[in-house]
Amino acid sequence: MDDEAELVALAQRDRRAFAPLYTRYFDPIYRYCYRRLGSPDAAADATSQTFAKALAALSTCRAETFRSWLFAIAHNVLTDGFRIRTFDQPLESAAEVVDATPSPEDLAVVAEERSTLEWLLVQLQPEQRQILELRLAGLTSKEIAEAIGRTPNAVDQAQFRAVNRLRTLLAASGHAQGREVSR
């Protein structure tokens, strides 16, 4: 990612140079938004807002923290969206599978696992859920810490507690059946 700092610095001087950063981070940001919103359209809107805000505020970004800065913007877009609107879709709609190529049996298993994961994540404290969602989006402890304004140690501790809570909930729900929740 050494070239990333160079890309950010170049984009700060010439907005047209933002395209490689957009290309690099579109999919991770979209997946993060989709995981939180459960709707492809809502995720696309949130992703678009994230990049528009990032481009508008690019001059304030420190090049070496671009990734965590971008995910912090995405988090704020999602949080603002939750404050502004109410969602009419039931939680089960988040279990939709975008890729239709797997077999119906595979789709059923994936839908059940996704539904179980969504149910488990809702049981966590909001900060723990946010940390796990950012981890699932591929951020490191340091990047998560920068995105949410905590120390990496606090992030690791909250993640540890969250994973232990998930294990307890999963075992209590009867969904464990030999599967492990991993860190």
Domains of the chain: total: 1
Q: Which residue has the higher pLDDT, 142 or 116?
A: 142
Please indicate, yes or no, if residue 41 is contained in any of the structural domains. yes
pLDDT reading at 24 higher than 90? yes
Q: Which residue has the higher pLDDT, 2 or 176?
A: 2
d(CA 101, CA 66): 35
d(CA 161, CA 42): 30
Lowest mean pLDDT among 26-35, 77-86, 155-164: 77-86
Please indicate, yes or no, if residue 65 is contained in any of the structural domains. yes
First to last CA, the chain: 24
* Torsional class of 149: left (φ above 0), alpha (ψ -120 to 50), beta (otherwise): left
Q: Read off the CATH number of the domain in which 74 is found.
A: 1.10.1740.10
**pTM for this predicted structure:** 0.56
Percent share of the chain, pLDDT over 90: 38
Q: What is the pLDDT of residue 179?
A: 46
- Cα pseudo-dihedral 86, 119, 182, 164, rounded to 10: 100
Q: Which helix (H) or strand (E) holds 30?
A: helix 19-37
Please indicate, yes or no, if residue 64 is contained in any of the structural domains. yes
**Which domain range does residue 30 map to?**
1-89
pLDDT band at 90 (very low <50, low <70, confident <90, very high): low
pLDDT tens digits, one per residue of 60-86 = 988 888 999 999 999 999 988 765 554
Please indicate, yes or no, if residue 176 is contained in any of the structural domains. no
Please indicate, yes or no, if residue 96 is contained in any of the structural domains. no
pLDDT reading at 171 higher than 90? no
pLDDT reading at 9 higher than 50? yes
Q: Which residue has the higher pLDDT, 76 or 97?
A: 76
pLDDT band at 119 (very low <50, low <70, confident <90, very high): confident
Please indicate, yes or no, if residue 152 is contained in any of the structural domains. no
